[in-house]
A = this chain, B = another copy of it.
Amino acid sequence: MTADGEIDLPSLERLVGRLLEGGVDAIFALGSSGEVAFWDDARREAVLEAVTGTVAGQVPVIAGAIDMQTDRVIQHVRAAERFDLAGYVVTAPFYAITGPEEIEAHFRAVAAATERPVWAYDIPVCVHTKLSPAQPLKLGQDGVITGVKDSSGDDVSFRRLAAANRAAGSPLTLLTGHEVVVDGAYLAGADGSVPGLGNVDPAGYVRMHRAAQAGDWERVRAEQDRLARLFEIVFQPTDKVGPAGGVGAFKTALRELGVFSTNNMATPMTPIEGEAVDRIRAILADVGLLYGAGAGA
Protein backbone atom coordinates (compact mmCIF):
# COMPACT_ATOMS: atom_id res chain seq x y z
CA MET A 1 0.00 0.00 0.00
CA THR A 2 1.15 3.51 -0.70
CA ALA A 3 0.86 6.20 1.91
CA ASP A 4 -2.43 7.38 0.38
CA GLY A 5 -4.07 3.98 0.55
CA GLU A 6 -3.57 2.72 -2.97
CA ILE A 7 -1.90 -0.48 -4.06
CA ASP A 8 1.83 0.06 -4.35
CA LEU A 9 2.35 -1.56 -7.74
CA PRO A 10 6.15 -1.17 -7.90
CA SER A 11 6.39 -3.03 -4.58
CA LEU A 12 4.07 -5.71 -5.89
CA GLU A 13 6.18 -6.10 -9.01
CA ARG A 14 9.34 -6.42 -6.93
CA LEU A 15 7.61 -9.14 -4.91
CA VAL A 16 6.68 -11.03 -8.07
CA GLY A 17 10.19 -10.64 -9.39
CA ARG A 18 11.55 -12.08 -6.17
CA LEU A 19 9.18 -15.06 -6.37
CA LEU A 20 10.35 -15.76 -9.92
CA GLU A 21 14.00 -15.47 -8.89
CA GLY A 22 13.23 -17.83 -6.03
CA GLY A 23 12.29 -20.42 -8.62
CA VAL A 24 8.58 -20.86 -7.96
CA ASP A 25 6.63 -23.10 -10.35
CA ALA A 26 3.53 -20.90 -10.30
CA ILE A 27 2.11 -17.82 -8.62
CA PHE A 28 -1.13 -17.51 -6.69
CA ALA A 29 -2.42 -13.94 -6.85
CA LEU A 30 -5.28 -12.48 -4.82
CA GLY A 31 -5.03 -14.99 -2.00
CA SER A 32 -5.36 -14.37 1.72
CA SER A 33 -1.82 -13.05 1.96
CA GLY A 34 -2.73 -10.73 -0.91
CA GLU A 35 -5.43 -9.21 1.27
CA VAL A 36 -7.98 -10.12 -1.40
CA ALA A 37 -10.77 -9.74 1.11
CA PHE A 38 -10.03 -6.04 1.33
CA TRP A 39 -9.96 -5.20 -2.37
CA ASP A 40 -12.79 -3.96 -4.48
CA ASP A 41 -13.14 -5.05 -8.09
CA ALA A 42 -10.95 -2.33 -9.57
CA ARG A 43 -8.07 -3.07 -7.23
CA ARG A 44 -8.35 -6.78 -7.89
CA GLU A 45 -8.01 -6.10 -11.59
CA ALA A 46 -5.06 -3.81 -11.00
CA VAL A 47 -3.33 -6.57 -9.04
CA LEU A 48 -3.92 -9.12 -11.81
CA GLU A 49 -2.73 -6.64 -14.42
CA ALA A 50 0.49 -6.04 -12.51
CA VAL A 51 1.14 -9.67 -11.65
CA THR A 52 0.46 -11.13 -15.09
CA GLY A 53 2.39 -8.28 -16.68
CA THR A 54 5.44 -8.93 -14.55
CA VAL A 55 5.26 -12.70 -14.86
CA ALA A 56 4.78 -12.39 -18.63
CA GLY A 57 4.11 -16.06 -19.09
CA GLN A 58 7.23 -17.31 -17.31
CA VAL A 59 5.12 -19.41 -14.91
CA PRO A 60 1.39 -20.02 -14.60
CA VAL A 61 -0.57 -17.48 -12.57
CA ILE A 62 -3.63 -18.62 -10.64
CA ALA A 63 -6.01 -16.00 -9.25
CA GLY A 64 -8.21 -16.02 -6.19
CA ALA A 65 -11.88 -15.37 -6.98
CA ILE A 66 -12.96 -14.93 -3.40
CA ASP A 67 -16.35 -13.59 -2.47
CA MET A 68 -19.37 -14.37 -0.38
CA GLN A 69 -21.55 -16.29 -2.77
CA THR A 70 -21.73 -17.80 -6.23
CA ASP A 71 -22.81 -14.85 -8.33
CA ARG A 72 -20.11 -12.52 -7.08
CA VAL A 73 -17.45 -15.21 -7.48
CA ILE A 74 -18.55 -15.61 -11.09
CA GLN A 75 -18.33 -11.84 -11.54
CA HIS A 76 -14.71 -11.92 -10.37
CA VAL A 77 -14.00 -14.83 -12.72
CA ARG A 78 -15.49 -12.98 -15.67
CA ALA A 79 -13.57 -9.82 -14.90
CA ALA A 80 -10.35 -11.84 -14.82
CA GLU A 81 -10.84 -13.74 -18.07
CA ARG A 82 -8.95 -11.10 -20.05
CA PHE A 83 -5.75 -11.82 -18.09
CA ASP A 84 -3.30 -14.62 -18.81
CA LEU A 85 -4.34 -16.92 -16.01
CA ALA A 86 -4.04 -20.67 -15.49
CA GLY A 87 -7.06 -20.98 -13.22
CA TYR A 88 -9.04 -19.68 -10.26
CA VAL A 89 -9.02 -20.45 -6.58
CA VAL A 90 -12.49 -20.48 -5.01
CA THR A 91 -13.66 -20.99 -1.43
CA ALA A 92 -16.92 -22.40 -0.14
CA PRO A 93 -19.61 -19.71 0.17
CA PHE A 94 -19.53 -17.75 3.39
CA TYR A 95 -21.44 -15.19 5.52
CA ALA A 96 -24.69 -17.04 4.85
CA ILE A 97 -24.32 -20.61 6.10
CA THR A 98 -24.50 -23.30 3.46
CA GLY A 99 -24.50 -27.08 3.58
CA PRO A 100 -22.76 -29.70 1.42
CA GLU A 101 -25.46 -29.57 -1.23
CA GLU A 102 -25.05 -25.82 -1.72
CA ILE A 103 -21.25 -25.99 -1.60
CA GLU A 104 -21.27 -28.56 -4.39
CA ALA A 105 -23.70 -26.49 -6.47
CA HIS A 106 -21.50 -23.45 -5.86
CA PHE A 107 -18.35 -25.07 -7.25
CA ARG A 108 -20.28 -26.51 -10.18
CA ALA A 109 -21.74 -23.11 -11.05
CA VAL A 110 -18.38 -21.38 -10.90
CA ALA A 111 -16.70 -24.08 -12.98
CA ALA A 112 -19.49 -23.83 -15.55
CA ALA A 113 -18.75 -20.12 -15.93
CA THR A 114 -15.17 -20.54 -17.17
CA GLU A 115 -13.09 -22.80 -19.37
CA ARG A 116 -10.19 -22.45 -16.98
CA PRO A 117 -9.41 -24.85 -14.14
CA VAL A 118 -10.95 -24.19 -10.75
CA TRP A 119 -9.19 -24.96 -7.48
CA ALA A 120 -11.04 -25.47 -4.21
CA TYR A 121 -9.62 -23.39 -1.35
CA ASP A 122 -10.28 -25.15 1.94
CA ILE A 123 -9.89 -22.40 4.51
CA PRO A 124 -12.31 -22.86 7.41
CA VAL A 125 -10.67 -20.12 9.48
CA CYS A 126 -12.14 -17.65 6.97
CA VAL A 127 -15.27 -19.34 5.63
CA HIS A 128 -16.17 -21.38 8.73
CA THR A 129 -16.91 -24.50 6.71
CA LYS A 130 -14.51 -27.44 6.38
CA LEU A 131 -14.63 -29.45 3.17
CA SER A 132 -14.85 -33.17 3.91
CA PRO A 133 -12.28 -35.28 2.03
CA ALA A 134 -15.07 -36.89 -0.02
CA GLN A 135 -16.39 -33.61 -1.39
CA PRO A 136 -13.40 -32.27 -3.37
CA LEU A 137 -12.59 -35.79 -4.51
CA LYS A 138 -16.01 -36.20 -6.07
CA LEU A 139 -15.74 -32.76 -7.67
CA GLY A 140 -12.33 -33.75 -9.01
CA GLN A 141 -13.58 -37.02 -10.43
CA ASP A 142 -16.39 -35.13 -12.14
CA GLY A 143 -13.94 -32.67 -13.68
CA VAL A 144 -15.37 -29.72 -11.77
CA ILE A 145 -12.19 -28.85 -9.88
CA THR A 146 -8.57 -29.55 -10.73
CA GLY A 147 -7.07 -29.39 -7.30
CA VAL A 148 -7.24 -28.26 -3.70
CA LYS A 149 -5.35 -25.59 -1.79
CA ASP A 150 -5.60 -26.87 1.77
CA SER A 151 -5.24 -24.24 4.47
CA SER A 152 -7.52 -26.07 6.85
CA GLY A 153 -4.98 -26.98 9.49
CA ASP A 154 -6.65 -30.39 9.61
CA ASP A 155 -3.89 -32.79 8.71
CA VAL A 156 -5.98 -35.87 9.34
CA SER A 157 -8.45 -34.70 6.73
CA PHE A 158 -5.63 -33.84 4.33
CA ARG A 159 -4.07 -37.28 4.72
CA ARG A 160 -7.40 -38.93 4.09
CA LEU A 161 -7.95 -36.77 1.02
CA ALA A 162 -4.46 -37.58 -0.29
CA ALA A 163 -5.01 -41.32 0.20
CA ALA A 164 -8.44 -41.28 -1.40
CA ASN A 165 -7.15 -39.18 -4.28
CA ARG A 166 -4.31 -41.61 -4.92
CA ALA A 167 -6.69 -44.58 -4.80
CA ALA A 168 -8.89 -42.81 -7.37
CA GLY A 169 -6.04 -42.26 -9.83
CA SER A 170 -5.09 -38.78 -8.61
CA PRO A 171 -7.72 -36.63 -10.31
CA LEU A 172 -6.73 -33.79 -7.98
CA THR A 173 -3.51 -31.85 -7.51
CA LEU A 174 -3.07 -31.20 -3.80
CA LEU A 175 -1.35 -28.14 -2.42
CA THR A 176 -0.87 -27.23 1.20
CA GLY A 177 -0.85 -23.72 2.59
CA HIS A 178 0.21 -24.88 6.02
CA GLU A 179 3.50 -23.00 6.45
CA VAL A 180 5.27 -24.92 9.17
CA VAL A 181 4.27 -28.51 8.40
CA VAL A 182 4.77 -28.60 4.66
CA ASP A 183 7.29 -31.42 5.19
CA GLY A 184 4.64 -33.63 6.76
CA ALA A 185 2.22 -32.69 3.99
CA TYR A 186 4.74 -33.89 1.41
CA LEU A 187 4.99 -37.22 3.24
CA ALA A 188 1.18 -37.36 3.28
CA GLY A 189 1.02 -36.80 -0.46
CA ALA A 190 0.98 -33.07 -1.17
CA ASP A 191 2.03 -32.21 -4.73
CA GLY A 192 3.24 -28.77 -3.71
CA SER A 193 2.79 -25.89 -1.33
CA VAL A 194 1.33 -22.38 -1.50
CA PRO A 195 2.32 -20.92 1.86
CA GLY A 196 1.81 -17.26 2.66
CA LEU A 197 5.29 -17.28 4.18
CA GLY A 198 6.57 -18.19 0.72
CA ASN A 199 6.28 -14.50 -0.07
CA VAL A 200 9.01 -13.84 2.46
CA ASP A 201 11.32 -16.72 1.55
CA PRO A 202 10.32 -18.22 -1.81
CA ALA A 203 13.73 -19.78 -2.34
CA GLY A 204 13.47 -21.69 0.93
CA TYR A 205 10.15 -23.28 0.00
CA VAL A 206 11.45 -24.06 -3.48
CA ARG A 207 14.49 -25.82 -1.98
CA MET A 208 12.22 -27.83 0.31
CA HIS A 209 10.03 -28.81 -2.65
CA ARG A 210 13.02 -29.93 -4.73
CA ALA A 211 14.38 -31.92 -1.80
CA ALA A 212 11.00 -33.63 -1.29
CA GLN A 213 10.85 -34.55 -4.94
CA ALA A 214 14.35 -35.99 -4.65
CA GLY A 215 13.38 -37.95 -1.52
CA ASP A 216 16.03 -36.13 0.51
CA TRP A 217 13.95 -35.97 3.65
CA GLU A 218 16.69 -34.83 5.99
CA ARG A 219 17.10 -31.76 3.82
CA VAL A 220 13.32 -31.29 3.67
CA ARG A 221 13.18 -31.35 7.43
CA ALA A 222 16.12 -29.02 7.90
CA GLU A 223 14.62 -26.48 5.49
CA GLN A 224 11.22 -26.79 7.17
CA ASP A 225 12.76 -26.28 10.59
CA ARG A 226 14.42 -23.12 9.32
CA LEU A 227 11.17 -21.88 7.77
CA ALA A 228 9.31 -22.67 11.00
CA ARG A 229 11.79 -20.42 12.78
CA LEU A 230 11.03 -17.75 10.19
CA PHE A 231 7.29 -18.22 10.72
CA GLU A 232 7.74 -16.98 14.28
CA ILE A 233 7.58 -13.46 12.78
CA VAL A 234 3.79 -13.74 12.78
CA PHE A 235 3.72 -14.11 16.57
CA GLN A 236 5.75 -10.96 17.24
CA PRO A 237 2.94 -8.36 17.01
CA THR A 238 1.24 -9.27 20.27
CA ASP A 239 -1.52 -6.69 19.95
CA LYS A 240 -2.97 -7.84 16.62
CA VAL A 241 -5.14 -10.72 15.41
CA GLY A 242 -5.75 -12.27 12.01
CA PRO A 243 -4.13 -10.75 8.92
CA ALA A 244 -3.20 -7.57 10.78
CA GLY A 245 -0.73 -9.82 12.59
CA GLY A 246 0.11 -12.55 10.07
CA VAL A 247 0.04 -10.71 6.75
CA GLY A 248 1.27 -7.64 8.59
CA ALA A 249 4.36 -9.60 9.65
CA PHE A 250 4.94 -10.78 6.08
CA LYS A 251 4.70 -7.19 4.83
CA THR A 252 6.97 -5.91 7.55
CA ALA A 253 9.55 -8.57 6.72
CA LEU A 254 9.33 -7.68 3.03
CA ARG A 255 9.87 -4.04 3.86
CA GLU A 256 12.89 -4.87 6.00
CA LEU A 257 14.20 -7.00 3.13
CA GLY A 258 13.86 -4.05 0.77
CA VAL A 259 11.10 -5.55 -1.36
CA PHE A 260 8.19 -3.45 -0.17
CA SER A 261 8.30 0.32 0.29
CA THR A 262 5.97 0.25 3.30
CA ASN A 263 4.27 -2.23 5.58
CA ASN A 264 0.93 -0.43 5.34
CA MET A 265 -2.17 -2.59 5.55
CA ALA A 266 -5.54 -2.32 3.87
CA THR A 267 -8.19 -0.40 5.81
CA PRO A 268 -9.19 -0.95 8.64
CA MET A 269 -5.91 -2.61 9.63
CA THR A 270 -2.88 -0.72 10.93
CA PRO A 271 0.77 -1.59 10.31
CA ILE A 272 3.06 -3.30 12.78
CA GLU A 273 5.28 -0.87 14.64
CA GLY A 274 7.73 -0.63 17.48
CA GLU A 275 9.59 -3.50 19.10
CA ALA A 276 7.74 -6.10 17.08
CA VAL A 277 9.59 -4.78 14.02
CA ASP A 278 12.92 -5.26 15.80
CA ARG A 279 12.01 -8.81 16.72
CA ILE A 280 11.00 -9.52 13.12
CA ARG A 281 14.38 -8.20 11.96
CA ALA A 282 16.15 -10.43 14.44
CA ILE A 283 14.31 -13.48 13.14
CA LEU A 284 15.08 -12.56 9.54
CA ALA A 285 18.75 -12.34 10.49
CA ASP A 286 18.63 -15.61 12.43
CA VAL A 287 17.35 -17.56 9.43
CA GLY A 288 19.85 -15.96 7.09
CA LEU A 289 17.58 -13.61 5.15
CA LEU A 290 18.89 -10.34 6.54
CA TYR A 291 22.55 -9.44 6.67
CA GLY A 292 24.75 -6.52 7.50
CA ALA A 293 25.19 -3.96 10.19
CA GLY A 294 21.58 -3.40 11.16
CA ALA A 295 20.44 -6.99 11.14
CA GLY A 296 19.02 -8.08 14.46
CA ALA A 297 20.23 -4.93 16.09
A18 to B102, CA, bound (A): 31
| Complex interface: chain B residues within 8 A of A242 (CB) | 96-99, 102
**Would you call A128 an interface residue if the criterion is a C-beta within 8 Å of the partner chain's C-beta atoms?**
yes
Q: Which of A173-211 contact B (CB under 8 A)?
A: 178-181, 183-185, 187-188
Nearest B residue to A240 via CB reads B99
**Would you call A168 an interface residue if the criterion is a C-beta within 8 Å of the partner chain's C-beta atoms?**
no
A141 to chain B, nearest CB (A): 19
A159 and B181 contact, Cβ closer than 8 Å, known pairs A98-B241, A126-B95, A242-B97: yes
Nearest B residue to A104 via CB reads B268
A18 to B228, CA, bound (A): 38
A47 to chain B, nearest CB (A): 14
Query: Which of A104, A106, A184: most chain B CB closer than 10 A?
Result: A184
| Complex interface: chain B residues within 8 A of A215 (CB) | 217-218
**Would you call A15 an interface residue if the criterion is a C-beta within 8 Å of the partner chain's C-beta atoms?**
no
A212 to chain B, nearest CB (A): 10
A102 to B38, CA, bound (A): 12
Pick from B95, B159, B267: contact of A71, CB below 8 A: B267
Query: Which of A156, A228, A268: most chain B CB closer than 10 A?
Result: A268
**Would you call A37 an interface residue if the criterion is a C-beta within 8 Å of the partner chain's C-beta atoms?**
yes
A160 to B234, CA, bound (A): 12
**Would you call A153 an interface residue if the criterion is a C-beta within 8 Å of the partner chain's C-beta atoms?**
yes
Q: Which of A49-107 contact B (CB under 8 A)?
A: 66-72, 75, 93-99, 101-106
Query: Is A183 touching B178 in the complex (CB atoms < 8 A)?
Result: no
A241 to B224, CA, bound (A): 35
A40 to B73, CA, bound (A): 10
A266 and B221 contact, Cβ closer than 8 Å, known pairs A96-B126, A159-B181, A184-B181: no
**Would you call A9 an interface residue if the criterion is a C-beta within 8 Å of the partner chain's C-beta atoms?**
no
**Would you call A257 an interface residue if the criterion is a C-beta within 8 Å of the partner chain's C-beta atoms?**
no
User: Can you list 9 A-B pairs, Cβ within 8 angstroms, ordered by A?
Assistant: A38-B96, A70-B267, A96-B242, A102-B270, A105-B268, A128-B128, A184-B185, A187-B221, A215-B217
